[in-house]
Amino acid sequence: MSEHIMDKRKKTKKKHVRPGPIFSENGIPYDYIVVIDAGSKGSRVHVYNWLSPYKSMEKGQNLNTYHPLKKARKYEEEISDDESDSDDEKSKELPNLFPKIQTKTKWHKKIIPGVSSYNKAPHKIGKHHLAKLLSRASKIVPQPLQYRTPIFLYATGGMRLLIPTEQKEILKEICKYLENQSDFFFPDCATHVSVIDGDYEGLYGWLSINTLIGAFDDPNSHQHGKNHTTYGLLDMGGASTQVVFQPNNTEIDEHQNNLYHIRLRQVPELHDQKYEVPKLEEYNVYSDSFLGFGMFQARNRYFKALVDSDDKDEQYHYWGFTKSPITDPCIPKGFTTSEFINDRSYDFIGESNFEKCLTNIFPVLQNSTHGGGPKATNCKQFSDGDEVSECLLNELIPAFDFDVNHFIGVSGYWDAIEDLLSQQDKRELIDQKNTYDYKKIFSKTSKVCSQSWSSMLELNKQKDYKEQLSEDELSELCFKASWILNFLHLGLGFPRFGIDEPNNKDFQTLQLVEQLGGSSFSWALGKAVLYANDEYVQAYNNLTQSSLARPGFYHSTSENTYQYGAEQNNIMPRPLFDESKTSNYKSFKYELNDEDDESKWNIEPHRWYGMIIFAILLTFVGYLMLGSRNRGLFVTKITTAFRKLVRLTPGYNEAKYTTVSHDDFELGDLAEVDAQFKVDDDEEDEDIEQEQPPRKKSISS
């Protein structure tokens, strides 16, 4: 891609970010929250707001009435018409059981890489990572409200894979930066910055999904049978994947010790100028995080399985290089890639074999002992018959009841399937309410996995420019889609319509979505949901002298470790809005920072780079001091030694491999090269070099 196009893209992306409002049209101040999702591949900052519960109830407002975003009358900059929001920037209402939470398109920002990348240089995370996230948040949250806007950073799968000492150092640096270099409300490090438990991440995601789809606000429109109205969540991340759902009543009774209990309360209703006691809503939910089964970690485990199943002869490796590439059926034929497995470099060459791809992925599921329980007894490959397989489920996990358990698949599920389908397929998917179609996905995956690399490149070029995939995305497409098929149908036991169960068009076991209610999915919304709900109940208690239990959740086996929705016990709550203090705020450097991704150079420690550069300079000075004749002799000796080293490499005289561009071109065809092309004998070359010292002419050339 040309530099001109890249520059043009950057310019079009950098648009003015308009600050959020301070007051509603009724003069009620807004409360904001900033949640940073620190994932394995990048961090996303999310900003949400809602009407201040205390001020709303103090003024006797009807809390069930939605107040749209309005430009604040005070403290906001005057913005010209050409800087006004575009259509996609119009405020979105996120339907909610309690307060009406709002966000806008530009109130979310992702940067790469993830915080776990700073494990070798944690002291750089503030300036080179957090500052970019805070820069976006500070442009949205009005400065007069930043002192009372809580900020949270929860790290997920990538950080869970680091050793505890590395986690601790990164979290310490994050806390130090947010406490000393930020004006946001940060009363406590331990509860505001942490490596979030995978189960908690799943619970926040479950709250987010059911909020966005409207299952809380309008349960009558989401009756699945047996008085079941909520949706389960399947969230495929990079390092882990979450499975969260509300079991049927029978499974709840049998698995009480493995469930989370969520306590929420509806918004207080105003009757005769008096607020009634908000109605209690409780849910028993199973939440589980399958660490190591996210898309990227699964791919790494898959590569390790390929290496383990290959030749284990110690002579097979020479200084980390492989004798010949390992065949990978999930990679397109004609494409090669290199991966580091167990600190060694391995080359993998594509085969384009769909059935073999499914078979080779299977050991990643088969060898699992997830959850600490016994291995599942029902674990079968696709080729073992049409019976349902449940490799990841054991007796500790509640059974799915697909008569009532409907699921929403997000993140990696949607990304893999979206890249797989054509525009026409996507339109049909939307028309069918995003219902997952096993036969279509299986057929599309089979077709993609059977394509050669040259064919895939050609088909990719035929797509609209915005729909085209990068070469990395294209080469990984077969594995991603095949992993989804394996995980759903062999790991979790989801039915394959038309094979395992009768095809019922009215039955939606699984929907794959990118957006719900006009907003992209993020578990961060669930944190905002719980925080706002807790604040409304606390406001009700303060104004009515009541003592209602605060919203939150706990695991059934440890009720004493109750997780409150807002600030935890003995932690100062956010300050009440005080208009007299709105002009007292500090300015920090991050407010003027850009928000671009960080380069690898700024992440890794530089001391080795300095030593290497110094050594190179010394070598260069010594080389110049040798004189022209000695330099020539030195170059000749180095060249000869390198040639000998190359000849000693195992497989040097064997068939080489390359990337081919035609379907009918095989590696064996290399043997048919013109026989007149010959290479001189290696030993004779060495004798000639030793008998005839290089002359000045050859040295200078």
Q: What is the pLDDT of residue 619?
A: 80
Residues 624 and 601 in one domain: no
Ranking 87-91, 166-170, 185-189, 441-445 by mean pLDDT, the lowest is 87-91
From CA 441, how far away is CA 446, in angstroms rounded?
8
Token code pair at residue 56: 């709303």
Q: What is the pLDDT of residue 564?
A: 97
Residues 431 and 348 in one domain: yes
Other C-beta atoms lying within 10 Å of the C-beta of residue 137: 24
Residues 347 and 452 in one domain: yes
Q: What is the pLDDT of residue 450?
A: 95
From CA 251, how far away is CA 219, in angstroms rounded?
21
Residues 170 and 309 in one domain: no
Q: What letter represents residue 165's amino acid?
A: T
* Residue 597 pLDDT level (bands cut at 50, 70, 90): low
Burial class of residue 650 (count of CB atoms within 10 Å of its CB; 0-12, 13-18, 19+): middle
Q: What is the pLDDT of residue 98?
A: 67
Asked whether residue 174 is assigned to any structural domain, the reply reads yes
Q: Span 572-586, mean pLDDT?
A: 77
Which residues lie across from 251 on neighbouring strands?
A: none
Beta pairing class for 274-275 and 231-236: unpaired
Domain boundaries, position 665: 618-700
Asked whether residue 472 is assigned to any structural domain, the reply reads yes
Other C-beta atoms lying within 10 Å of the C-beta of residue 585: 14
From CA 652, how far away is CA 2, in angstroms rounded?
38
Residues 597 and 673 in one domain: no
Where is 338: in which H helix or E strand? strand 336-341
pLDDT of residue 677 exceeding 60: no
Residues 51 and 156 in one domain: yes
Asked whether residue 613 is assigned to any structural domain, the reply reads no
Q: What is the pLDDT of residue 49?
A: 96
Helix (H, G, I), strand (E, B) or coil at 42: coil
Q: Taking all residues of the chain, what is their mean pLDDT, rounded to a whole number?
A: 80
Ranking 262-266, 372-376, 395-399, 470-474 by mean pLDDT, the lowest is 372-376
Percent of the chain with pLDDT over 90: 46
Other C-beta atoms lying within 10 Å of the C-beta of residue 217: 16
Taking Cα atoms as reference points, which of 302, 345, 650 lies closest to residue 482? 302
Taking Cα atoms as reference points, which of 59, 44, 52 lies closest to residue 101? 52
Token code pair at residue 246: 């509300």
The string of pLDDT tens digits covering residues 67-111 is 443 333 333 333 333 334 444 444 555 544 567 899 998 999 999
DSSP per-residue string spanning 254-318:
HTGGG-EEEEEEPPPPEETTEEPPPPEEEEEEEEEEEET-SHHHHHHHHHHHHHHHS---GGGEE
pLDDT of residue 15 exceeding 90: no
| Per-residue buried b or exposed e for 276-314, using 16+ beta carbons within 10 Å of the residue's own CB | eebeebebbbbbbbbbbbbbbbbbbbbbbbbbeeeeeee
Q: Span 220-235, mean pLDDT?
A: 91
The string of pLDDT tens digits covering residues 354-387 is 999 999 999 998 877 676 666 777 888 887 766 6
Asked whether residue 153 is assigned to any structural domain, the reply reads yes
Residues 587 and 641 in one domain: no
pLDDT of residue 123 exceeding 60: yes
The distance from CA 374 to its chain's CA centroid, rounded to whole angstroms, is: 29
Residues 191 and 313 in one domain: no
Q: What is the pLDDT of residue 474?
A: 93
Question: Sign of the CA dihedral 134, 135, 136, 140?
Answer: positive
Asked whether residue 666 is assigned to any structural domain, the reply reads yes
Half-sphere exposure of 508 (CA within 13 A, CB side): 18
From CA 134, how far away is CA 594, in angstroms rounded?
10
Q: What is the pLDDT of residue 465?
A: 84
Q: Span 174-181, mean pLDDT?
A: 95
From CA 27, how far away is CA 631, in angstroms rounded?
81
Q: What is the pLDDT of residue 629?
A: 77
Q: What is the pLDDT of residue 463?
A: 84
What is the chain's length?
Answer: 701
* Residue 695 pLDDT level (bands cut at 50, 70, 90): very low
Give the CATH number for residue 130: 3.30.420.40
pLDDT of residue 9 exceeding 90: no
Alpha carbon separation from 569 to 188, 552, 572 (Å, rounded): 11, 12, 8
Ranking 286-295, 325-334, 419-428, 584-593 by mean pLDDT, the lowest is 584-593
Q: In 518-566, which residue ranges form alpha helices assigned H by DSSP?
A: 524-544
pLDDT of residue 507 exceeding 80: no
Under 8 Å between Cβ of 246 and 230: yes
Asked whether residue 230 is assigned to any structural domain, the reply reads no
Give the contacts of 330 (CB within 8 A, at least 6 positions apart): 302, 357, 360, 361, 449, 478, 479, 482
Taking Cα atoms as reference points, which of 191, 190, 151 lies closest to residue 168? 190
Asked whether residue 432 is assigned to any structural domain, the reply reads yes
From CA 570, how far away is CA 581, in angstroms rounded?
24
From CA 154, how far away is CA 156, in angstroms rounded?
7
Asked whether residue 9 is assigned to any structural domain, the reply reads no
Task: Give the long-range contacts of residues 648-653, CB within 8 A, separation 24 or more.
Answer: 649/318, 649/321, 650/315, 650/316, 650/318, 650/323, 651/323, 651/324
pLDDT of residue 550 exceeding 70: yes
The string of pLDDT tens digits covering residues 434-493 is 888 888 889 999 999 999 999 999 988 988 888 889 999 999 999 999 999 999 999 999
From CA 378, how far away is CA 389, in angstroms rounded?
6
Residues 118 and 164 in one domain: yes
Residues 581 and 626 in one domain: no
The string of pLDDT tens digits covering residues 29-68 is 999 999 999 998 899 999 999 999 999 999 998 887 644 4
From 507, 533, 560, the end of a domain falls on 507
Domains in the chain, number: 3
From 455, 485, 507, the end of a domain falls on 507
Half-sphere exposure of 88 (CA within 13 A, CB side): 7
The string of pLDDT tens digits covering residues 16-37 is 788 999 999 889 999 999 999 9
From CA 314, how far away is CA 308, in angstroms rounded?
12
Output 90 or 589, whichever has higher pLDDT.
Answer: 589
Residues 482 and 588 in one domain: no
Percent of the chain with pLDDT over 70: 75
DSSP code, position 349 = E
Residues 479 and 601 in one domain: no
Q: In 410-452, which residue ranges form alpha helices assigned H by DSSP?
A: 412-420, 423-431, 438-449
From 507, 530, 546, the end of a domain falls on 507
Q: What is the pLDDT of residue 193?
A: 98
Q: What letter represents residue 392's amino acid?
A: L
From CA 475, how far away is CA 451, in angstroms rounded?
11
**Cα first-last separation, the chain:** 36
From CA 137, how far away is CA 140, in angstroms rounded?
5
Q: Span 613-629, mean pLDDT?
A: 79
Q: What letter represents residue 112's amino acid?
A: I
